[in-house]
Structure 1
Amino acid sequence: MKNIFEKDLSGEMVSPNEPGYEALISDIFATIKTATEMNTGYRTSEEVREYMKQILGKPLEKSTTVLPPLYIDYGKPITIGKGCFIQQCCTFFGRGGITIGNDVFIGPKVNLITINHDPNPENRSATYGRPIVIEDKAWIGINSTILPGVRIGYGAIVGAGSVVTKDVPPMTVVAGNPARFIKGIEA
């Protein structure tokens, strides 16, 4: 039988009424506390790297830059590759799993949201996750939102202010709400 963390990461419905939910919420609050400490006041890149190690449960690649503030609910299911640049004021809801490849640019105020609620109003407090994958060399424009279960392909660009509800093919530009194909990218 899966514990609540395994259920959550596997995409099964998780309810506040089930055993283990308090442990999940405790971990979320611990992550938020660490992120809030990182976000309060000026931090050197070394200090940010140490906070991110606590949040992710693993070291952040030395070649990757994270500019606080970063709002994050749960960091352990998040993997961030080499050479990434994550701008300030981003929100990562990581419970469903986020994989960020190498050399990914994430603009300010980007939202990576892996969790959704049960559409049944009688069970609306229950949630389920779907992973987000951002492949190498993708660029997510300012104030964009990537919704649960979306894969952003290699080298793709998500235009500023977009809401991405479906997978984005490699080497394409998408934009809008919902994001739609704009053009291909010549290599």
Structure 2
Amino acid sequence: MALIKSYKGLSPKWGKDCYFSENATIVGDVTMGDQCSVWFNAVVRGDVAPITIGDRTNVQDGSCVHVTHDTGPTHIGSDVTIGHNVTVHACTIHDGALIGMGSTLLDGCEIGEGAIVAAGALVLQNTKIPPHEIWGGVPAKYLKPTRPGQTDNAAHYVEYAKEYLKS
């Protein structure tokens, strides 16, 4: 079972059919929807501000989702994929976005619906990425528009989670 920890009287809450790997950590004021997954060595830490996550969103291996008391909460929509070893800090990610492996999202940035942050990108503080655009690089810059279906990865992780829940 994952490490599920209350902090200052606030306990994580989640919907039905969620999967949390044995060494995932979820702390404090965290609210997740249905069919979410938090994978191996990932941390979702809502200790100084809330974290909200919609339905069918996955936080993959080694990622960290956190907040800061100065800039506020982290909001993550539904059908979002957060790739391996990503840092998400006090920002907003809209529905259907894909956050590539090893990328970093800094305080106050906003990732539009269906947008992609390329692997290894650094999204600077307060950057606004419009819907259905691909951004990459250090610092992240506009690369090109997304193609239809390019961000439909979250459904795969719902299926993977079902298999893990069976075993």
TM-score (norm 2): 0.67
Structure 1 portions without partners, runs of 5+: 1-26, 35-43, 115-131
Q: Percent identity?
A: 30
Q: Residue 28 of structure 2: SS of its match in structure 1?
A: helix
RMSD: 3.0
The counterpart of 1:92, out of the listed 65, 74, 82, is 65
Q: Distance in 2 between matches of 1:47 and 1:141?
A: 20
The aligned residue for residue 170 of structure 1 is 131
The counterpart of 1:106, out of the listed 58, 82, 86, is 82
TM-superposed CA distance for 1:91, in Å, is: 1.5
Distance 1:100 1:88, change over 3 A: same
1:164/1:178 contact within 8 Å kept: yes
Moved >6 Å (runs of 4+): none
The structure in which a higher percent of residues are helix is 1
- Give the number of the structure whose alpha-carbon radius of gyration is greater: 1
Q: Distance in 1 between matches of 2:30 and 2:43?
A: 16
User: Does 2:135 match 1:159?
Assistant: no
Distance 1:70 1:155, change over 3 A: same
The aligned residue for residue 50 of structure 2 is 77
The counterpart of 2:98, out of the listed 139, 154, 163, is 139
Q: Distance in 2 between matches of 1:46 and 1:141?
A: 20
Q: Structure 2 counterpart of 1:83, which letter?
A: R
Q: Distance in 2 between matches of 1:141 and 1:46?
A: 20
TM-score (norm 1): 0.60
Q: Residue 77 of structure 1: SS of its match in structure 2?
A: strand
> Size of the alignment, in residue pairs?
130
Q: Residue 178 of structure 1: SS of its match in structure 2?
A: coil
Distance 1:72 1:171, change over 3 A: same
TM-superposed CA distance for 1:143, in Å, is: 0.5
1:107-131 Cα distance to aligned partner (Å, 9 max, x none): 01110123xxxxxxxxxxxxxxxxx
